Amino acid sequence: MRWRRSLNFAVSIFTVCSPFAVSAKPSPRWTHYGLRPLAMGNAFVAVVDDYNTVFYNPAGLARLSTWDLEILNPYAEGSTGIKTAVSDAQNSKNSGVSGVLDLIEKNAGESFHLGIGIEPHFVMPKFGFAIGADLLEATAIFHRDISIDVKSGSDIVFPISYAFNLLNDRLSIGLSLKARAKAGVDREFSIDDIEALQSGKNDSSGKKLDDYVLTGAGGGADVGILFTPTKTMEPTLGVSITDLGGTAYKDVASSTKGVGIPPVTQASVNVGFSMKPIMINKLYLLTAVDVHSINQNISFSKKLSLGSELGYGRYIKLQAGLYEGYLTGGIQFDVPLIKIKLVTYAEELGDNAGFKEDRRVAVQLKLLL
C-alpha cells in the first residue's frame, strides 16, 4: 500500500532520531499553514492579503485588488538536526536495534521532521480556491521508555471561498466551504514494534503496519470578518472560525481490514489585529498579533503569535515573528516567472511554550504561474 511506503519512510527516519521525555506532541494545526504566515510568527488572521486568506480568514478575499494564480509551487521543510543525525547513522558501526540505541545515545533530546507539499491556488477580488496539500509528512518524537510517537502520512485541505464588503469597505465578511482528506499513521510504537514492522512482521499486539493506517474524508466550513475603521495605518481587527461545529471524517477505505478513521478536526476560534505604521510609496512595515484556537484547551503561551513584515511592493519581503515562544523569520523574492520563500520557525513539543523546540527550515519555489 501507498501508506506502508509512507510509514516505512518514517521508520527509516527513526534510525537517525533520539528520545526525549515530552508530555505532548505538537498541537494539531487548526488550518493549513503557509510559509509566509509562519515566517511572520503565524500571525495572519487580520493580515490575509494573499492566497493564504482562504486558509486563515476568507474575508480577506474582499480586499484583494488583483488576481493571483499559481500551479507549480512545491515546498519542502525539515528539522535542522536531521543532517547531524544522518551523519551519525552513516558513521555507526552497528546495525539493527544496537545501531538505533547507539544513535539514541548520540542524539538524546532531539526530534525530527520532514515534509513536502504543494499549494496550487487561484484568487481574485471576492472569490478564490486553493489546495493545501501536505503530500508526505514524517515526524518522530522519542521517549525515555524507548517508545516513539510516530506521525506519517498526508493531509489535504481544499477550500472554495467567497467574500464581500460592507460599510464603505470597512467591514468584510467571508465564507469557505471545504473538503478535507487525511491518511496515515499517528500513534506510539515501542522499539520492538518498530523492528517487527520494518521486517514486515506483526508487532507485539499482533497487528501489521496496515492495521494502524487511518484514512478519511470530510467536508467543513469556515467564516471570517475583517474590520478597518480608518485607512490611516490600516488598523484591522480580524476574526475567523475554522471547521464550524467540527469536521468529521467518513471512511473511504471500508474494504481495507483494520483501517480506521481520523479523529474530528475541532472548530477553532481565532482573533488577530494588524496595522501598517509605515507606508511610504511601495515601502511598508506591517505588524500583527494573533491568538489562535481560543476555544480549545491549549496553553495560552502556545496560542499567542506576533509577527512583522518589511516589504517593498511585491518584490521583496522580510519577515520576523514569535510563534509558540520561538523566533521566526523569512525572506521572499517575487520577480516575473519565479518566486522564492526561505523560512525558519519552530514547533513546541511540550504543553507550554519554551519547553522544547523542534527548529525547522523550509523553502518554497514558484515557477511560471
pLDDT digits (tens, 9 = 90+) for 299-313: 999 999 999 999 998
pLDDT digits (tens, 9 = 90+) for 133-154: 999 988 877 666 666 777 888 9
pLDDT band, residue 4 (cuts 50/70/90): very low
What are the residue boundaries of the structural domains of the chain, listed by start? 2-275
pLDDT band, residue 74 (cuts 50/70/90): very high
Q: How far apart are CA 53 and CA 49, in angstroms?
A: 7
pLDDT band, residue 17 (cuts 50/70/90): very low
C-alpha cell at 365: 519555489
pLDDT band, residue 185 (cuts 50/70/90): confident
The total number of residues shown for the chain amounts to 369
- Highest-pLDDT range among 11-15, 18-22, 238-242, 334-338: 238-242
Q: How far apart are CA 138 and CA 116, in angstroms?
A: 9
The β-bridge relationship of strands 74-79 and 338-348 is: unpaired
In sequence order, which residues have a C-beta less than 8 Å from that of residue 275 and are 6 or more positions away?
A: 233, 234, 235, 236, 286, 287
pLDDT digits (tens, 9 = 90+) for 323-349: 999 999 999 998 877 899 999 999 998
Q: How far apart are CA 126 and CA 162, in angstroms?
A: 5
Q: What mean pLDDT, rounded, does the chain reach?
A: 85
Q: How far apart are CA 240 and CA 48, in angstroms?
A: 11
Q: How far apart are CA 166 and CA 322, in angstroms?
A: 33
Cell numbers 467540527: residue: 246
> Is 28's pLDDT higher than 90?
no
> What 8-state DSSP symbol labels residue 298?
S
pTM of this structure: 0.88
For the chain, the maximum distance between any two Cα atoms, rounded to a whole number of angstroms, is 70
Q: How far apart are CA 69 and CA 120, in angstroms?
A: 8
Q: What are phi and psi of 270, to 5 degrees?
A: -130, 140
Per-residue burial over 153-162, b = 16 or more CB atoms within 10 Å of its CB, e = otherwise: bbbbbbbebb
Closest listed residue to residue 197, CA positions, set 18, 5, 2: 5
